[in-house]
Amino acid sequence: MSTGKLLLSPDRFALTIERLCCQLIEDWDNFADACVVGIQPRGVALADRIHSRLTDLTGNPDIPYGKLDITFYRDDFRLHDKPLAPHPNDMDFLVAGKKVLLVDDVLYTGRTIQAAFSALQHYGRAQVVELLVLVDRRFNRQLPIQADYVGISVDALDEAYVKVHWKENHGVDEILLFDKKHPA
Which of residues 74 and 152 earns the better pLDDT score?
Answer: 152
Rounded Cα distance, 115 and 118, in Å: 5
Gap between the Cα atoms of 109 and 145, Å rounded: 8
Nearest to 152 by CA among 102, 107, 101: 107
CATH assignment of 8-157, among 3.40.50.11540, 3.90.1150.10, 3.40.50.2020, 3.90.78.10 = 3.40.50.2020
CA 3 to chain centre: 24
Confidence band, pLDDT 50/70/90 cuts, at residue 181: low
pTM (2 decimals)? 0.91
Q: Is 162 helix (H, G, I), strand (E, B) or coil?
A: strand
Please tell me the predicted confidence (pLDDT) of residue 83. Answer: 66
CA count, 13 A, side-chain hemisphere, 138? 6
- At 35-77, the pLDDT tens digits run 999 999 999 999 999 999 999 999 999 999 999 999 878 766 5
What is the domain partition of the chain in residue ranges?
A: 8-157
